Structure 1
Amino acid sequence: MSNIKASVIIPTKNPGEIFRPVLDSVLSQLTDWPFEVVVIDSGSRDGTVEFVRSKANVKLIEIPAHEFGHGRSRNTAIANSVGEYAAVITHDAQPVDPHWLQHLVEIAESDTRIAGVFGKHIAYPQASVFTRRELELHFAGFKEAPIVHLDDANRYAEDVGYRQFLHFFSDNNALLRRSVWETIPYPDVDFAEDQSWAKSIIEAGYYKAYSDAGAVYHSHDYSLFERLQRSFDESYAFKRIFGYILCPDLISMFKSVVALSRRDVRYARSIGMLRRAPLQVVHAVMDNVMRLLGHYLGSRGEKIPTPLRKQISRDKKLLAQ
């Protein structure tokens, strides 16, 4: 029987230079027990495979690009690992400190009913102030209830916000208990495999946990069109998988754009940014427009012709590269 406590799983596909400090940070983790690192690559042509091969203590799995699937590939990597836990991150999620892995495992070991743990995301230092604040606000909401489960069936059936809170899970930075994964593996879906998995484990009666200390640097300053693409993918997937309609109509879209933009302008004014960098504030407002437009289009994705839908989708574009 293996004495490896955790296996760190990293899918890669042409990640570029950002992956090098990510892998080095993972390999330098300080833990009270042995761990292994498994990289599953789906056709990188940017030197990533050669870099991984230069690390004697990293297991490399290579698959053709057309075999990649968000859930499927992670399942393949976990199946080829041996740890009691599988810590799953993306190739651009860098552990903040050398105790990241220890923190995630400690939370999981605090209660055997915990099937999965997701950790905090912190914006990279070069990220925009709006990206940094968005992540801070998002993850602050999980600190008050770091361990949750389905404790109100009636509310779960009727309250969409409650379901969304219980379903949220990000395998940009997460830990799965192997014994649960063996029964409930990742679903083979084209998007939101992490939140689909969380839905399954929550409905099976397991607990889900959040680790504020087990943090990674992970953020994106999207271009305006990339924001629309990302939001479209999210909205289209959430409707198909969960039945969520993120933007039901144009009136809701307008109200949400106004509310988010007022929030961002107030914040910009409070830190003196409105005068110092007005164009960045304008970009933030336009980013809100593209986010909500993407949600509006995604909630109607099945009505959009397939060729056009593929052009709008950021995920499809990245998979095709």
Structure 2
Amino acid sequence: MMDASGIRVSVVIPTKNGGSRFRSVLNAALEQQTEWPFEVIVIDSGSSDETLAIARENSTVRVIDVEPADFQHGRTRNVAIQSARGEYIAMITQDAQPVANTWLRTLVADIEADEQIAGVFGKHVAYDDASLFTREELVQHFAGFELQPVAQMTNPERYLHDAGYQQFLYFFSDNNALIRRSIWERYPFPEVDFSEDQAWARIVIEAGFKKAYSRDAVVYHSHNYGLWERFQRSFDESMALDDLFHYDQPKGFLVLLRSWVGLTLRDLKLIRQHLPKDGWKLILPAIRMPIDNFMRVSGGWLGARAGFECPALIAFCSRDKKIKRGKR
């Protein structure tokens, strides 16, 4: 039921040291054109840069502070949603900028197409400074949802045994999403350190609800990772997904090599396609690409094996755990 204030949607943005890009993200959220009122909530976990000042420049933005030590991806979002007044909760991150001022009403229209849809996630496109490989990877990733934009578990037997089917049903990105508050009240975000959005999707899918993909509710969202950061991000994501979902997939050393070769051949093909237009501009990316791919697949491979269950190795490889300990 809509709040007495008439707020239909609450836009939630978790932040910590969002930097200069956060200003554009927040402005894009505030400039949404809708036929109904919405609010913007920034929940910050200890920013030391200009993030809080930017958030407080607009008196309509509600700011919630949480202690850095209390931050957790699932729990922090639940805190923000608990104080939200909207019938629907839209979620972006401090570096995910809505492309158009129709982003919010597009998400709402998509979720209202079917009352069984628990949540809608939208398309990501790369920022202008992203690499050729990142841009193409985002295109291909989200194209995979266009053939079946609304998904529900329709084959329980397949669901039990098919990891690919599970991954398709679980994928959900709260970098760009809208959920029903009424369903969140029954199924809040799990209090997990990583992949809280996919963990939530699993819960609502298993409860019989649907999820949907919106091709037209688009945000800019991409990262230019350094090589070691690429390894760490892949390690954290893979370790979290394996811990949450226990996907039954091959984890031998040959899997690492096949994945690296496959990604590298894919990217070499992409370079050849763009050589006539970009020429010499591709020289440095082409040199860096195989190394970047190796850092990605080796981080993911080691994360899936939970760092060989060695606490010291996990602490060394995990970026997320270093951040929680207050280290860069």
TM-score of the aligned structures, taking structure 1 as reference length: 0.97
Question: 1:285, CA displacement in angstroms?
Answer: 1.6
Alignment partners' CA distance in 2, 1:18 and 1:307:
35
| 2:277 is equivalent to residue 295 of structure 1 | no
1:21 corresponding residue in structure 2? 24
2:321 corresponding residue in structure 1? 316
| 2:51 is equivalent to residue 67 of structure 1 | no
- Residues 13-52 of structure 1 deviation map (CA, whole Å, 9 limit, x = unaligned): 0111110000011000001111000000001010211221
SS of residue in 2 equivalent to 1:216: strand
1:251 corresponding residue in structure 2? 254
Alignment partners' CA distance in 1, 2:217 and 2:249:
29
Question: 1:276, CA displacement in angstroms?
Answer: 4.4
1:285 corresponding residue in structure 2? 290
Q: Is the contact made by 2:163 and 2:248 (CA closer than 8 Å) also made in structure 1?
A: no
CA-based RMSD: 1.4
- Residues 207-241 of structure 1 deviation map (CA, whole Å, 9 limit, x = unaligned): 00000110100001211111110110111111110
Alignment partners' CA distance in 1, 2:166 and 2:86:
30
Question: 1:310, CA displacement in angstroms?
Answer: 2.2
Alignment partners' CA distance in 2, 1:257 and 1:92:
28
Alignment partners' CA distance in 2, 1:192 and 1:109:
25
Residues 81-92 of structure 1 aligned to structure 2 (within 5 Å):
81-92=84-95
The AA in structure 1 aligned to 2:133 is: F
- Residues 122-160 of structure 1 deviation map (CA, whole Å, 9 limit, x = unaligned): 000111111100100000101111101000001101110
Q: Is the contact made by 1:41 and 1:63 (CA closer than 8 Å) also made in structure 2?
A: yes
Question: 1:8, CA displacement in angstroms?
Answer: 0.2
The AA in structure 2 aligned to 1:17 is: S
| 2:11 is equivalent to residue 12 of structure 1 | no
SS of residue in 2 equivalent to 1:182: helix
Aligned residue among 209, 212, 224 for 2:212: 209
Alignment partners' CA distance in 2, 1:286 and 1:60:
41
SS of residue in 2 equivalent to 1:293: helix
% identity of equivalent residues: 50
1:225 corresponding residue in structure 2? 228
Gap runs ≥5 in structure 1? none
| 2:49 is equivalent to residue 46 of structure 1 | yes
Q: Bigger shift: 91-100 or 281-290?
A: 281-290
TM-score of the aligned structures, taking structure 2 as reference length: 0.95
Question: 1:173, CA displacement in angstroms?
Answer: 0.6
SS of residue in 2 equivalent to 1:210: strand
Alignment partners' CA distance in 1, 2:254 and 2:312:
28
Alignment partners' CA distance in 2, 1:291 and 1:151:
33
Alignment partners' CA distance in 2, 1:58 and 1:191:
27
Question: 1:316, CA displacement in angstroms?
Answer: 2.3
Aligned residue among 118, 140, 143 for 2:121: 118
Gap runs ≥5 in structure 2? none
Aligned residue among 151, 154, 158 for 2:154: 151
Alignment partners' CA distance in 2, 1:302 and 1:271:
37
Question: 1:259, CA displacement in angstroms?
Answer: 1.0
Question: 1:315, CA displacement in angstroms?
Answer: 1.9
SS of residue in 2 equivalent to 1:7: strand
Alignment partners' CA distance in 1, 2:247 and 2:294:
20
Q: Is the contact made by 1:41 and 1:49 (CA closer than 8 Å) also made in structure 2?
A: yes
Alignment partners' CA distance in 1, 2:149 and 2:254:
35
